[in-house]
Structure 1
Amino acid sequence: MESMDAETNAEAARILREFSTIAVVGCSRDPAKAAHSVPAAMRAAGFRIIPVNPVADTLLGERVYRHLSDIDEPVEVVEVFRPGPEAPAVAEEAVRIGAKALWLQQGITSGRAREIAREAGLAYVEDRCMAVVRAVNGIRKDAA
């Protein structure tokens, strides 16, 4: 089990080192929720955050999109803050838009989303906090 964790942690760090643009499905308007604070922390570390939310217009100072397919720029990583049963549909949409990685936030898992992502060649992480992985590995996208 530990080697699986080490492998997952290595993959998670690799995703954050290689990619900068993150679409956040389920980005929240509530600053007390992880679905707001985690993307805010990633943005503060220099990542490009694209919020996806069905009702908000602006989050974290960025235009909000209703669906991944509405985003008009390339997305590298799709981060999911939605319940596990919704993850397969998000995975399918991530594949359709050409994302390179699918990341299910800590507490979220989905065997079917994992299958969809891996069959399409996407890097995949589940049940990990993106902000924690970034901080532990000292990964920043700011200009040096």
Structure 2
Amino acid sequence: MTFTNPTDQQIKEILHKYKRIAVIGLSNNPARTSYMVSEAMQKAGYEIIPVNPMVDSVLGQKSYASLKDIDKEVDIINVFRRSEFVYDLAKEATEIKPKVFWTQLDVFDEDAAKLLQEHNILTVMNRCIKVEHAKFK
């Protein structure tokens, strides 16, 4: 099986329907891409849940050490980690059952995509959520 991202129409529907985003690897450094993207999504009306065991809070939101520590339902998991971490993150995601698992530019794992699809979790890889959101405003 070769992974294929959802169509533009499906991505548009994802971004209009789901508003709570757990951001794995969200930095508290405003110069980092994860911060800039998450800040833009927050300003666009999305709820951001930082997932980073190294910080207490980011963008005014409590940070969680892992996905399993989040005490509310997650719509989208947005991954700002290198590709070699994606499979383990996908396994963890199957336990909390988000609607969507999304990896940023240059982050991709075919085996993780297969696992997520087996658990009926919509998967978007190697795409910037902020860029995609800007296309469909």
Matches of 1:137 and 1:16 in 2, distance apart?
A: 8
Answer yes or no: is the 8 Å Cα contact 2:5–2:125 preserved in 1. Answer: no
1:8 Cα deviation (Å)? Answer: 3.8
Counterpart position of 2:43: 44
Counterpart position of 1:136: 135
1:38 Cα deviation (Å)? Answer: 0.5
Matches of 2:106 and 2:93 in 1, distance apart?
A: 20
- Partner deviation per Cα, 1:76-127 (whole Å, 9 max, x = no partner): 1100000011001111111101211100011111111111111100111011
- Partner deviation per Cα, 1:36-80 (whole Å, 9 max, x = no partner): 110110000000110000110010000000000000010011000
Secondary structure at 1:114 match in 2:
helix
Identity among equivalent positions (%) equals: 35
Matches of 1:74 and 1:6 in 2, distance apart?
A: 23
Counterpart position of 2:20: 21
Answer yes or no: is the 8 Å Cα contact 1:11–1:125 preserved in 2. Answer: no
Answer yes or no: is the 8 Å Cα contact 2:6–2:124 preserved in 1. Answer: no
Name the count of aligned residue pairs.
Answer: 135
CA gap 1:72/1:41 in 2 versus in 1, 3 angstroms: same
The residue identity in structure 1 corresponding to 2:108 is T
CA gap 1:73/1:6 in 2 versus in 1, 3 angstroms: closer
The residue identity in structure 2 corresponding to 1:88 is Y
- Partner deviation per Cα, 1:4-58 (whole Å, 9 max, x = no partner): 9885433322211111110000001121111111011000000011000011001
The residue identity in structure 2 corresponding to 1:128 is R
Counterpart position of 2:10: 11
What RMSD over aligned residues (CA atoms) do the two structures have, in Å? 1.6
TM-score normalised over the length of structure 1: 0.88
Counterpart position of 1:127: 126
Q: Show the 5 A alignment for 1:1-144.
A: 7-138=6-137
Answer yes or no: is the 8 Å Cα contact 2:5–2:124 preserved in 1. Answer: no
